[in-house]
Chains A and B, each alone.
Chain A
């Protein structure tokens, strides 16, 4: 029979937490399935939106920044240039806000039933993978059609996706914990997502950034992710040092996120 320890002692709580993560893996799966099912319940339209959104956005961006501003794209067609950035970016930003709001969305459960609270934002982040998968297939198809497809696009995806998930987990967990206490965070998220997009070479290519700023730019893991997708589309070499930096930052943000969330989660129910 399993023995559970509920303790005021922090070290004992960590041990129990790790045990719980394993014990509650099925609930994680259940939440995941719930979120996916609810999201794609009206299947035809649901999936269609996931395809249409980045497609329309890329078209609009291509029209404005290609047709009017004449943004340099390092030789990529405008629509592909923007699609390559918007597929990872839109899934990133929607996962960010969904995970930040996940504690509130599950407040009715959190105040009644125990489960490791990490499960709620965690499941949301994993749900966004489905959106990403659909967008990614679209991107590959589009690249093939435009004659810019390269096997590197597939080979590098697991690494880039890993960086993206770690980053969103880190930032999302911090925001989720803060949002439970401060409802101001909801407004902050929209704002933050917009700023973050500007700090990521989505609209502009990384090559347009002045050299002195480029080192700082890549402290943002999403900058590395977006740039690497574009590099793969152009058949340009991937900058592995940059990738290493992105991965390191993403990993530390995820670790910080879990630590921060854990520190706060135990008292969330007294606040929610």
Chain B
């Protein structure tokens, strides 16, 4: 077998708790620490007693190992990824998925170990990374292309194709600040779509943009995979992983918990899954899109069972949200969706499904939003997603969030349980008539 496309050996990454906040970001704090350190050294010259002369590095390591504010986001990762494999990386929030991708795309260095890869790595992270508003479309194609790792010759060769794909021929010499948002996104995506890396990295959680863009990303991924290139995909959608990937890796607390066929690994992941807490803070990272007009800040399940994001069987799902509106939004539409854990939508509702509802226009500020969903769900785990849109224009869908993992318990508040042998996702309802004898038997 030929050498793997990506070879990961003993990879580890250590962070400090609280990330940025815990680091001394003011000069004063560091200077104080440093001066304190000097005095300590002087006062206790024999404090460090070691059998051999410790290097600076070793002293540092010893201190860090004992310091509880440090933690390993990734530890002892060993993986070989063969050329042409489409690998899905799954795991809960904080399992180390994004850290792994960050190391692979060289945004952050590892603390231990090494990665060797063959060819170019490109990542589809955000539409228009590196676009400059003052520059023209033409200039931005070259700028963006070379930031994404294309050579000038490659860009020049594909230039016409990119322009045609983006359908912005007439505006090539106009600064992109005059573009409509649709043109901007099309141009940005066109550049990314013409990348030909040997290895493509897609972080679905970070692949911001509207729903349409995400679909295009998936499309791009499929075509890259068909050409025999290697793809690494981080996804929350088990359905996507099962459908697209030839291999899956389950990360848990920074280590590889399972790897192998997507079906088995996804099953392993779902086995250990559980409902979120009844109240949950939503971070900007949970948003699928770039936070521009609106962000969801907090969600709470009203009357949740057992203080978790869980409802009793047949209990309506009542949710309260805290929503921050950042700029005035006219005719906003809110929607909610229930999906199975492997990503199949069960149903979708919108606040204006009831046409008698007036249109809502929101001024900037923080709002409380409440809604209740009928609960036809069978016991089990589901994902609740929320979104906001302007009049159902999918291109402007500016808010899409995986809000929580919901559990529907297998009993009611009074202990009644549904008939266990039923299968399916929702409770069916039906009316039957007793059989009517039409003919007598022999």
Contact = CB atoms under 8 A, between A and B. Distances in A.
A152 B322 CA distance: 71
Interface residues of B, number: 47
Contacts of B102: 269
Interface residues of A, number: 38
Given A27-B147, A112-B107, A182 B26 contact: yes
B27 A13 contact: no
Interface in B1-52: 12, 15, 19-20, 23, 25-28, 30
A29 B142 CA distance: 11
A4 B117 CA distance: 5
Contacts of A267: 108-109
A26 B146 contact: yes
Given A3-B117, A12-B114, A30 B147 contact: yes
A71 B135 CA distance: 46
Interface in B135-154: 135, 139, 142-143, 146-148, 151-152
B115 interface: yes
B103 to A, nearest CB: 6
Interface in A1-58: 1-9, 12-13, 26-27, 29-30, 33-34, 37-38, 41
A26 B147 contact: no
Contacts of B132: 34, 38
B105 interface: yes
Contact of B106 (A6, A34, A41, A183): A6
B364 interface: no
Contact of A37 (B118, B126, B139, B152): B139
A152 to B, nearest CB: 39
A271 B123 CA distance: 21
A270 B116 contact: no
B143 A112 contact: no
B112 interface: yes
A4 B103 CA distance: 12
A109 B114 contact: no
B147 A6 contact: no
B134 A5 contact: no
Contact of A270 (B15, B129, B139, B152): B15
B130 interface: yes
Contact of A182 (B25, B111, B114, B152): B25
Nearest to B113: A8
A8 B125 CA distance: 24
Contacts of B441: none
A41 B28 CA distance: 40
A185 interface: yes
A6 B26 contact: no
B27 A184 contact: yes
Interface of A: 1-9, 12-13, 26-27, 29-30, 33-34, 37-38, 41, 108-115, 181-185, 266-267, 269-271
Given A110-B107, A184-B27, 12 more contacts: A3-B116, A6-B103, A6-B117, A8-B109, A109-B129, A109-B147, A112-B107, A112-B129, A113-B147, A115-B147, A270-B15, A270-B19
